[in-house]
Amino acid sequence: MTEQINKPIPNPCVGVCALDENDLCIACQRSGIEIAEWGVYTNEEKIDVWKKIKQRESGDFSE
């Protein structure tokens, strides 16, 4: 895991920014806060966001 934390974490943005009624982007599944703060997140925080995205995509909203 340490090796992954040291590599650049790709931005999940696909260039379609539109938040739904739950404050989640309909394209990348990030919250408004996650989008706004992506640039200041540590790699560890970015990995956590990616995990949340995978959960949201699978319909698991039990964060």
- Give 6-57 pLDDT, tens digit per residue: 789 999 999 999 999 999 999 999 999 999 999 999 999 999 999 999 999 9
- CA atoms of 43 and 62, how far apart (whole Å): 23
- Burial 11-39, CB ≥16 within 10 A → b, else e: ebeeeeeeeeeeebbeebbbbeebbeebe
The dihedral built from the CA positions of residue 28, 33, 39 and 40, taken in this order, carries a sign that is: negative
What's the pTM? 0.84
